[in-house]
Structure formats: C-alpha cells, structure tokens
Structure 1
C-alpha cells in the first residue's frame, strides 16, 4: 500500500523528474544523466550497461564453445545449449499435481498453478477487480487508478506506462544507433540489428534431425519439429479432442467447455477471452489518445499511429532494383518483387499446383491433400481446415453474442460488430488529401487513392494495355495471352490455372 498510495517520492537531483519507485529513478539516472560507459577491449563497441558488454564479448570475440553431447550442435552462449538440450533431448517433465498438465519448463508449471489452481486472490482497493496474478493487479492499479505519469523531457508526450515512454524516446528523440559491422545497415533498435545480422550475415543454421530442413531462425525449427515430427499430443479431459498445439487445446477448452467469463466494469459486455475485453475497453471506454505531431490525425491505437507516421510522413523509401517502383512500405516492395520479378515457385508434390507464395502451398496441402480432419463436437460437420471448424462452431453452436451498445444489432462474429460500429456509429472519418472524398472505412480510402490519384500503373509487356489495378493486368494477360494449362493425365486444356486445379481434384485426385 505504501508503494501505490504512499506519499514517498524519489526526485532526480539533475532535473525535475519525480517518481514513486526507486528503480525508476535509477533507470532515469542511467539513461538521461549517466556518464559511465563499458567499452569492448577488442573493438569499438560501447554501452552504458555492463550486462550488454558480456553477451557482446561472448557472441563476437568469445572462443569458448558449448557442444551438445547428443548431436553436432555447437554454440558460444551457454543458455542456448541449455535450451537446446531441453527442447530436443530433454526428458525432464514437470507435472501438475491437480490436473494432467505437463511441461518441460518449471516456470510454465508455476504460472499454470497460479492461473488455474491458485487460491490466492489479489483485490483492488478502489473497485471490484479481482485477479490471481499479482502482476495483473499492478497493471490494473497503474492504468485505472494510478496518478503517476511519465513525461517526455523533449516534448509534451505523457503516458502512464513506463515502456511507452521508453519506446517514444527511442523512436522520436533517440540518438543511439546500432551499426552492422559487416555492411552499412544502421538502426535505432538493438533487436532489429540482431535479426539483420542473423538473416543477412549469420552463418549459424538450425538443422532438423529427422529430415533435410534447415533454417537460420530457431523458432522456425521448433515450429517445424512440432508440426512435422512432433509426437506430443494434448488431449482434452472432457471430450475426445486431440491436438499437437497447447494453445489450440486452451482455445478449445475455453470455447467448448470453459465457464470463465471476463466482464466489463463500465457496461454489460461479457466475453470468454481476456484479449477481447482489453480491446473492448480501449475502443469503447479508453480515454488515451495518440496524436500525430505533423497533422490532425488522432487514434486510440498506438500501432495505427505508427502506420500513419510511416505512410504519410515517413521519409524512408524502398525502391525496386528492376523497375521504377517506389513505396514507403517494405511489405509492398516484397509483394511487388514476388509478383512481377520473382522466379521462386512452390510446387505441390502430390498434384500440379504451383504458386509463388509458401503460405498458399501450405493452405493447398491442408485443404486438398491433408489427412487430418477436424470434427465438430455438436454435429456431423467435418473439415480439413481448423479455421473453418472455428467459424462453424461460432456460427452454428456458439452461445457468445456481440451486441451493439447503440442499437439492436446482434452478431456471433466479433469482426461483424466491429464493421457495424465503424460503418453505422463510427465518428472516425478517412479523408482524401487530393479531393473531397470521405469514408468511414480505411480500405475504401486506399482503393480510392489507387483508382483516382494513384500514379502506379501496370503495363502489358506485349501490347499498349495500361491499368492501375494489378488484377486487371493479370486478367488481360490470361485472356489475350497464349498461356495454356494442360492436364498431364488427359487432353484437358484451360486458360486459367484455377480451372486446371479444379479439374485435377475432380478427375484425377482421390
């Protein structure tokens, strides 16, 4: 109680910064006024934190290697070897004494015991909020009842969350830059430099012990092992549902058998998902607003502000190396490269399906050739796609309803309610900067900009046909082109690839 409601304050001796937490004052002193620096003896690396110097020495200049006794895995970081042993060769399991929960990590078991079987409850002194996790109570007190505010020393930015101030300082006022030692790459984010080094210059590879799969990203290997070779299964204790994914079992238990409900303290909104409640609180009752410093744009979503800054006011541009295409969004350049200049193709090993996108091939394998079936627990519905089962359960058997607070609209699908609120009752409007066009739907503004004011054009390589829409060029090429898709098992010929795929499914694939 002394920490939250007490009058004790810690003041900075060099500026006007005031806080109730001593650790916050220490962090402030290091970041704003700290002069101590830790230098690397082998290169020009400098940091204010001693804990950063040690991983740098081990990762770049360390000669010590930790080897796995069961395979050829080698690493310079001791904790990486420990994680490798637990994931691939570890037999130790921590079992829950109350239910059938099993995990390889003790921390997961502790979190499970607190969240599922813990009898201790932490109550808010100002409202009826109750939780089994002390961290949740701390967050609740700061957001709902806390008077502490973190102010930016360079502008008028104010927030109740410390990490938001830190992110604001790094993105807008931060002078620290992380440079790549092998190329000219520069970034303000240490995590971005780590990802760049591993992907572009990293020689470390993670290999699958059961097949030829190789990747530079550790989490990709873990996902591959679980999906392709994993024998671990998570079973539902109330029905015959079985899955390889722990998160899928948790979702199944909450949706089908769960009785836990999260209620809104300001209205009658009720949901089974905590994330849905958080989103509801932000949209309907949230008072925090994120404002653009260069125009009048205002939003309640921090990610939306970031996208707005990059799209409208960002100076960084991504250029295509093969043509004059320029965009401010890195993802758009990637899609452009794959569609117009990409030669990589992903082929199905069972039929003649070909695509430029790996995600499409994965969806094709699951939908057309997958042997796994997802059955509805309430009727005879069967599907090969897990998402279809989820939509079926929510649409046919779901008891949860999403109600509009302004009219009588009711739906079982959350995104339908969101679309209804934006189109019928939303006050936010998206305006065109070049004409008087106004819409409540963001994607409509994007379509309008491309169709009316867009300078990007797609040209046919064989004639003078020009269009602003990529799909029109694709249809033009197929309709007037000489490309034909032939069936390898009979004389069937089609101009459209989807027709050939449908033909293969009906005639030649069991």
Structure 2
C-alpha cells in the first residue's frame, strides 16, 4: 500500500493584482494574461492580436504558415510538429513498448502505462479516513474531497456551496459567467473555450486533416482518428487470455468482463454463474425466490406482486363494473368505459370535409391525415412525398442517410439505430424476459407483455369494436382493426 497522508496540502498561488488565488501555477499565469495582461502578441502579416504567444504561433501556422514538417520515409507533410511525431509513431514507429508481465505490445508509452496500472498494477492508494482503496491517485483525491473534505468552495454571487472546485467553476460559468470567448473572424461568442475551438475548426479552420489511405478529409483531428480506427485501424486491442481481437477499447473491456471477468457472482442454490450482480439478483428472484405471493381464496402462488394483483382482480375480484344498458360485466373500469363508448356511446367525432363519422378521436385524426391533409412534405433528395413528418424522416434515413450503425459483434450493418438495437437484443442479447405462468421466454419486453395478454389474460378483459362487434384481448389489435376497417 502507498497511502497519501494529505492530498489537500497544496501550495497556493495568489494574484498580486487582485484577490484571485489558485493551487495551480498555470491557472495563475492564465488569469494574469486574461485579466491583467498588458503584453500583446501581434501578427506581422495581418491585424490579429492575442495575449497568448501559443495562439499567435498557431495563427501563424494556420493562416500564414510556410514551415512544413515532412516525413523522411513517405510523402506525408504537415504544418504541425506533433502531427508529424504522431504519424512517425503510428506508421513507421520502430520503438515498441512491451509489457513485462504479458505479451501486450504498443508503440505508445502512455498506453503501456495505462495497461500496466489496469492489469498488473500493484500500487494502491488508500484513504487514511476510511477503507477506500484505488489504483488511481486522481480517484483517491476526488474521493477525499467528496467524502472527507472540510474545504468548501462558495459562490460569491449566490448561496451555492460545493466541496469540488470544478463544480464551483462550472456553476459560475453557467449562472454568473461573465467570461466570454469571442471568435476573431466573426461575431460568434460563447462561454465555453471548447465551443470556441470547435467553432474555429468548423467555420474558419484552414487546417484539414486528410486520411492517408482514402479521400476522407475533416477539420477535426479527433474525427480523423476515429475514421482511421474504424476504417483502416492498425491499432488493435487484444485479449490477453484468448485470441479475441478488436479495434475498440470498450469492446475489449466488455469481452473481458463477460468471458474472463475475475469477479463472478455465483448462485448458492444452483450452478448459475454471472459477472453481473443484477443478473444474479434477477436469477435468484426468478428461480429460487423465497418471497411468494399466495392467493387466500385458491391455490394460486406467484413470485411477482403484479401477477398476484392481476389474479385477484380477474378470479376473485369482488368489485364488478356492469353496463346499465346490456349484460356486459367486467372487473376493470377502463374496459367498461371502452365498452360504453363502443356500444352505447353518444359522443361522435365528425369530419368537417365529408360525411365520415366515428366514435373514436384517433380514428378521426387518422382519417383527416389520410384523406384531407393538404400539407405535403417532400424529400429534398428525390420525388418522395408524404403527409407525415415521421415517415419522411424515416425515408431520408433509409434511402439517403450516410450514417451507418454497425454491430460490434458481427458484420450486421444498418442505417437505422432502432434496427441495430433490435438486432443486438435478438442475436446477442443476454437479458431475457420469462413468463411467470409458463415456459415462454423472450428477449423483448413488449413480446412478453403481448404473450401475457393473449395466453394468460383475464377472460373478462376484452376489447370490443363498437362498429362491428370484433373482440380481442389486446388493445393494440383493436386499434389496428378500427384503423383498417372503419377509418
């Protein structure tokens, strides 16, 4: 163990011209430059002026840069020295950093350090006030400030108090922020430095980052990196326990938890084992749950409170709702209301453009959209026309959308995010919804709900069409029937 005796004992750096005080020297330097800075750095080629020398240097490279950094082993050219260095490491890097405890190899020293701490790290940072232990110094520092910190940071303009300096800073920017970051090329103003940086790259960025293996071009370095990893990525994350390889760090992490997770939760009553605590809890309730809800009027027993409640209403419900105009009886008040509207209802919804009449407001709305809607929404890419905004949006995504959603576990690709989610649940989903009354199992909660209605629903719970007498146990089927036959 390597305890930290006092994480909070840091030196203060006060501003000599005002009451500003900080624990970081660079923050003080930044403060003096912004609020008291008298030194200006002016561009020799245009009217650009800044109080920051690095900004001037960046401006010179972007707007008037003649200095180029060229790779000696290929045709790669850039105006940024860090970009050349990154290129050399990725494309021609001969220096490799190898893990001393396993076969992990990387060309980035930081990746090796992160890997060593995560996999083989023996150094632990222990809280001196409680039993909290972590491998990360920053995590311990945050824990101490949040749990045991006596230092409080108070807003000078309101009563807001917090133990975290970053939260106070965020509060000041959102509630009372006077500091503004202004674009030097247009009137854009924002309170966030990152927003200004993104604006500069998107709107006025002359620097372009081009993929060396295809025609992809972007003004955002992160986008280029993401593109390279996704399309041409040579960086691979390999499982140290098996042959699994992926381009995505999060996929490897999920694989490790599922396949080789060291923390396992085992059922004490059977052989069920899982790496997810919630899955074990669900298994215990479903398979070995001791809590049971037993009917006092018959032998019905269930582990689910909702199933027990439904059973009582359906089988032994003393409260009955009877129709005053016919012999219809139900234990559900909503069913009686639906029956009254369908069979004996006097309220009618009439179309103002034709003789169409219905007892259902939804049917009238659907009728108006289909037959009398004058507003048409046209696709800007082709001749497709529709009256429904959602339909047009779906058409654009399917026919003209460039965004693709790819399954990380197989080759499935789709332009619709919901389709990918459905595919994941069906093909690779581990979550299952089981019927409490039979052996039916599904990965879809709506499917289980529909199954319960159709196969185990109340015999008196029925949805009746008020126009033709159609009867069903599922409300959705009744709505579809009415739209299809009576709208």
TM-score, reference length from structure 1 = 0.51
Secondary structure of 1:171's partner? helix
By relative contact order (CA 8 Å, sep 6+), the higher-ranking structure is 2
- Distance verdict in 2 for CA 1:292–1:133, change over 3 Å: closer
Cα distance in 2 for partners of 1:324, 1:438 equals: 38
Residue of structure 2 in register with 1:262 after alignment: 181
**Cα offset for 1:162?**
0.9
Measured in 1, the distance between the counterparts of 2:256 and 2:2 equals 35
Other-structure match for 2:412: 450
Where do residues 177-196 of structure 1 align in structure 2 (5 Å cutoff)?
A: 177-196=96-115
Contact 1:345 1:355 in 2 (8 A): no
CA distance in structure 2 between the partners assigned to 1:91 and 1:320 by the alignment: 40
Residue aligning to 1:170: 89
CA RMSD, 1 decimal: 4.4
Post-superposition offset of 1:151: 1.4
Please name the residue that 1:461 is paired with.
Answer: none
- Structure 2 residue matching 1:202: 3-state secondary structure: coil
Unaligned runs of 5+ in 2: 266-275, 280-378, 382-397, 439-447, 450-487
Displacement of 1:300: 2.4
- 1:468 maps onto 2:426 in alignment: no
Partner deviation per Cα, 1:450-496 (whole Å, 9 max, x = no partner): 35599xxx9xxxxxxxx73227875972144789xxxxxxxxxxx99
Aligned partner of 1:228 among 124, 147, 160: 147
Match of 1:95 among 14, 17, 27: 14
In the alignment, the residues of structure 2 paired with residue 323 and residue 202 of structure 1 have an alpha-carbon distance, to the nearest angstrom, of 21
Residue 320 to residue 424, structure 1, CA distance change in 2 (3 Å): farther
In structure 1, what is the Cα distance between the partners aligned to 2:46 and 2:169? 29
Match of 1:441 in 2: 403
Q: Take 2:237 and 2:82, find their aligned partners in 1: how far apart are those partners? A: 29
Task: Report SS of the residue matched to 1:293.
Answer: coil
Q: Distance in 1 between matches of 2:165 and 2:404?
A: 35
Counterpart of 2:120 in structure 1 is 201
Counterpart-to-counterpart distance in 1, 2:48 and 2:163: 35
SS of 1:247 mapped into structure 2: helix
Structure 1 residues 144 and 232, CA, compared in 2 at 3 Å: closer, same or farther?
Answer: farther
Structure number with bigger Rg: 2
Any conservation in 2 of the 1:439–1:445 contact (CA below 8 Å)? no
Work out whether residues 289 and 299 of structure 1, in 8 Å CA contact, stay in contact via their aligned partners in 2: yes
Corresponding pairs, count: 313
1:477 equivalenced with 2:439 (yes/no): no
Cα separation, partners in 2 of 1:133 and 1:214, compared to 1, 3 Å: same
Counterparts of 1:268-307 in structure 2, within 5 Å, are 268-307=187-226
| Rounded Cα–Cα distance in structure 1 between residues aligned with 2:249 and 2:38 | 49
Structure 1 residues not aligned, in runs of 5+: 1-71, 75-83, 347-352, 357-422, 426-435, 459-466, 484-494, 497-510
Contact 1:178 1:187 in 2 (8 A): yes
For 1:30-429, list aligned pairs within 5 A. Answer: 73=2, 88=7, 90=9, 92-314=11-233, 327-338=246-257, 355=278
In structure 2, distance between residues paired with 1:234 and 1:260: 19
Q: Secondary structure at the match of 1:277?
A: helix
